[in-house]
Structure 1
């Protein structure tokens, strides 16, 4: 049975087709319009669908999916195998919830820390008994660069793509070094914090900026527990469909 899975983030939209548990097709779009979605459904035979969105105003997309598929409205109230102990589940980002569901689908019986490096960076742990209590949110790489530019008088706006890994030797490279290396040290600190809590911990990277840290972390003391899963949120959403 074919499932259409859509993850609408702050900066981009990922859309994928699963055949039961197998990912068979995925695309990254700057934006998903109602027209694009109808075209996508015409080109592919879809039985069930689901959306995770960090934005409001997706009702038109939902209506298209309701018309043409069996649509599952994803929310923290939906019955899953996760023991969700987040104290305000109605405010929990659905991408965060989908990420931990995806982590348990890939690594059942393990303690997992999901680090999603998107517009914001989120840290979410779920234990080997499927208990999820919450996590942390911090600014993403580009947000940090924009903040230094917008909240100061003279610092320029530096593209993240200009980072070459070297120590800063002018204002621009110093900003990049501070952002990338500062974020790496932040991540290392969170990993150590959770490792102290869990004797065995699987660390999973996902999100658009995961590539900046994959090699750095794999060259560190965390290498043996680290996995990069770029489609983790999509896998989690598909798992929700399979659980209904």
Structure 2
């Protein structure tokens, strides 16, 4: 099995994969010996990959190597099975590139658009020839609620409606402040995503669209385009990158 360690802005996700499929997962606020040791206990793990958006990947890899000797740290210099056209590859979020690899692996030879709903909202394009073409970065759902609260004098800190709330709870004008804030943030983000999808689908016929990230559940059922919702896209991409670097596919 492979061990995947994905250290995001707000939490750490661990996965064990076999044959490209996740067989076990867990998450926590931080990577520590107790979390990692409990997760891999009794498992035969052959290799691992560590990806971090916090800048602590090397330190995390040291801990991982006490359990799995063969550990790859995902850095800007790590070979991936895509051509990267990003002009500033060292500033490119590892999670964005990993999600792109995951989506391209699931839809080979197709134009792919990936919307990742996390702390930030990212929308990235991979073309049919296997080129990562960059994309768009905007505040995520909860970041927008925090911004309204922290940068105004009296607006409260709100949370989104339930994912299965009736569409009218989004599209009708709010008659109270918190209601208006929820509908403003949710509808604003919905219309933003619909705009990206409409524009890109017009340019790329047969475009495959993936939604991933913790807050994708609020939008997946409200978008008219045919989409694939895959919460494990980053994990799948990291597993593919690990296998690519351990195989003869990688010319380096």
Bucket of the pairwise TM-score, normalised by the shorter protein = over 0.9
Partner Cα separation in structure 1 for residue 67 and residue 27 of structure 2 = 22
TM-score normalised by length of structure 2: 0.90
1:89 lines up with 2:102 in the alignment: no
- Residue 214 of structure 1 deviates from its aligned partner by 1.1
Partner Cα separation in structure 1 for residue 194 and residue 202 of structure 2 = 12
Partner residue in 1 for 2:248: none
Structure 1 runs of 4+ off > 6 angstroms?
none
Partner residue in 1 for 2:222: 216
Q: For this pair of structures, how many residues does the alignment match?
A: 238
Partner Cα separation in structure 2 for residue 121 and residue 108 of structure 1 = 24
The 5-angstrom pairing of residues 1-244 of structure 1 reads 2-69=1-68, 70-161=70-161, 164=165, 165=167, 166=169, 167=172, 168-217=174-223, 220=224, 222-223=225-226, 226-244=227-245
8 Å contact 1:38–1:64 — kept in the other structure? no
CA 57–241 in structure 1, closer or farther in 2 if over 3 Å, else same = closer
3-state SS of paired residue (1:46): coil
Aligned-residue CA RMSD (Å): 1.5
- Worse overlay, 29-38 or 115-124: 29-38
- Residue 119 of structure 1 deviates from its aligned partner by 0.6
Partner Cα separation in structure 2 for residue 12 and residue 121 of structure 1 = 16
Partner Cα separation in structure 2 for residue 214 and residue 195 of structure 1 = 17
For structure 1, the residue ranges without an aligned partner over 5 or more in a row are none
- Residue 61 of structure 1 deviates from its aligned partner by 2.2
- Residue 203 of structure 1 deviates from its aligned partner by 0.7
- Residue 77 of structure 1 deviates from its aligned partner by 2.0
3-state SS of paired residue (1:68): coil
Partner residue in 1 for 2:250: none
Partner Cα separation in structure 1 for residue 134 and residue 162 of structure 2 = 34
- Worse overlay, 51-60 or 172-181: 51-60
Partner Cα separation in structure 2 for residue 91 and residue 84 of structure 1 = 13
For structure 2, the residue ranges without an aligned partner over 5 or more in a row are 246-252
3-state SS of paired residue (1:18): strand
- Residue 162 of structure 1 deviates from its aligned partner by 6.1
- Residue 53 of structure 1 deviates from its aligned partner by 1.1
